[in-house]
Structure 1
Amino acid sequence: MDSNLKKWSAEFIGTFWLTLGGCGSAVLAAAFPGVGIGLLGVSLAFGLTVVTGAYALGPISGGHFNPAVSIGLAVGKRFPASGLLGYIVAQVLGACAAAGVLYLIVSGKADFDAAKAFSGAGAFATNGYGARSPGGFSLLSVLVCEVVMTAIFLVVILGSTAKRAAGAFGGLSIGLCLTLVHLISIPVSNTSVNPARSTGPALFVPAAMGDLWLFWAAPIVGAILGAVIYNALLSDD
């Protein structure tokens, strides 16, 4: 198989797993009667998808699973800019496929009501601000949160995968960082830090499409900022 096709396939599968595992836990298990996993469980689910995906697929593609991460790594000179288009397309397709699978699962419930399931803040694990923010946070609050969280996420990724780092623990460090990011920011934006993850569920919630621009712009700005900060202040490369 062509090496690029292998990389794109790994990014598709990894982003599919991140979206299905993270968003699926939010939609199916977060408030399950009596034994819901809650905010902590959803945060761990997102982190665990990255940990498992990084170790299984990282050796093939680098384990980005996120357009903002790919862009940040390109800015940080860890990934060739020429590879961005293929990675981003694969990531978005993977997230959309996962959202489609999740929709098929959710809609198979006997009392499924699309109007109820796909309305309100955080519906179908979508991201939003104002009335679509789980905590009712403003556009500015969500913008600041998403930019800062993604910037720190990139700093952790670049530091955890640097030559001087303990390479075997990179995936664990990155996954735990994503868990912490979710613990902080689920109430604010339902946590994106990943444009692909935001795009998949939004396809099934028309109201969320109007906010989607923010969850592309803010993570990308944050990723670029994180890469610039790391290279300027922390890198030995």
Structure 2
Amino acid sequence: MPEIDGGATVADGHHVVTLNTEDQTHTTTCCLPSVPFVQKLIAEVLGTYFVIFAGCAAVVVNNDKDKVIGLPGISIVWGLVVMVMVYSVGHISGAHFNPAVTIAFASCKRFPVKQVPAYVAAQVLGSSLASGTLRLIFNGRENHFAGTLPAGSDLQSLVLEFIITFYLMFVISGVATDNRAIGELAGLAVGATVLLNVMFAGPISGASMNPARSLGPAIVSREYKSIWVYMLGPTAGAISGAWIYNIIRFTDKPLREITKSASFLRYASSRNGTKR
């Protein structure tokens, strides 16, 4: 999902390690993509697959088993799986898992524009495969749709999707692209943001925040009602969130150049040591 300092994200960072996506790894030889770039695409497919599989599985099981998981449980599953996958493949692909995030980074020149189509295709493929897997597993009497549909009006869900994706992208930009942030905590921060958004927005819009998350189940189930809401809302929200953070980013100097301590953790440790 996120990216670090001019490259892809590291830890969704969905970010501890700086990954420069603008190097020569995405160049082509004999009209074929390089091996490192193919590895990034595979990481995006697998990462998106497991994120969508776990999150949508929680939704399907909850519907299939008389609400045994509940909204809090579904929210926790979404947050945890995003955090886990960010730390798993963030150092490989940047752990976007989300076309809106990829497009937002590209709009801020933090991701190569030429890689956007391939990343988006990989993310939609991963989501579709995950949705297809769930369709095969839960192929009983009841056909549970794991996609997203507005509970109220399309406009209500559109506005809500814009806001929560703005919130998500703002957090990603802060913890995954600003070298003054504590990169080790980026995955935790992004996962927690997803959890919070699903908790209050899930009953209204489904809390997609991700065009691939909505498009994959729609393709598998052939249910495209209000799909435009989940294409436009998250994409516009992510772009706005990324740009707003760039506006308030008052300096590119690392925190260690502003204060004597590199992080609040080290500062706390030094204070404790002094007291002793």
Normalising by structure 2, report the TM-score. 0.75
- The question of 1:228 aligning with 2:249 is answered no
- The question of 1:117 aligning with 2:117 is answered no
Give the counterpart of 1:211 among 207, 213, 226: 226
Structure 2 SS opposite 1:213: helix
- The question of 1:188 aligning with 2:204 is answered yes
Deviation at residue 127 of structure 1 after TM alignment: 1.2
- The question of 1:70 aligning with 2:120 is answered no
Matched residue type, 1:154: M
Indicate conservation of the 8 Å contact 2:131/2:146, yes or no: no
Structure 1 SS opposite 2:180: coil
Whole-Å separation in 2 of the counterparts to 1:77 and 1:39 = 37
Structure 2 SS opposite 1:204: helix
Structure with the greater alpha carbon radius of gyration: 2
Deviation at residue 179 of structure 1 after TM alignment: 0.6
Whole-Å separation in 1 of the counterparts to 2:62 and 2:155 = 30
Give the counterpart of 1:51 among 62, 83, 87: 83
Whole-Å separation in 1 of the counterparts to 2:65 and 2:170 = 35
| Structure 1 residues 90 and 44: alpha-carbon distance in aligned structure 2, compared to 1, 3 A threshold | same
RMSD of aligned Cα (Å): 1.6
Count residues in correspondence.
Answer: 218
| Structure 1 residues 235 and 192: alpha-carbon distance in aligned structure 2, compared to 1, 3 A threshold | farther
Indicate conservation of the 8 Å contact 2:61/2:69, yes or no: no
Which residue number in structure 2 is paired with residue 121 of structure 1?
none
Deviation at residue 32 of structure 1 after TM alignment: 2.4
Which stretches of structure 1, 4 residues or more, deviate above 4 A after TM superposition?
none
**Gap runs ≥5 in structure 1:** 119-123
Higher helix share: 1
**Gap runs ≥5 in structure 2:** 1-33, 253-276
Whole-Å separation in 2 of the counterparts to 1:159 and 1:236 = 13
Task: Render the CA deviation track for 1:141-189: whole Å, top value 9, x for unaligned.
Answer: 1011000110110000010112111111101100110111101211111
Whole-Å separation in 2 of the counterparts to 1:30 and 1:177 = 24
- The question of 1:87 aligning with 2:119 is answered yes
Task: Render the CA deviation track for 1:75-128: whole Å, top value 9, x for unaligned.
Answer: 233212121111100000000000011111101xxxx22xx425xxxxx22212
Whole-Å separation in 1 of the counterparts to 2:78 and 2:213 = 11
Task: Render the CA deviation track for 1:13-69: whole Å, top value 9, x for unaligned.
Answer: 010011100001110146624x71110111111111111100110000010000001
Indicate conservation of the 8 Å contact 1:151/1:223, yes or no: yes
| Structure 1 residues 191 and 140: alpha-carbon distance in aligned structure 2, compared to 1, 3 A threshold | same
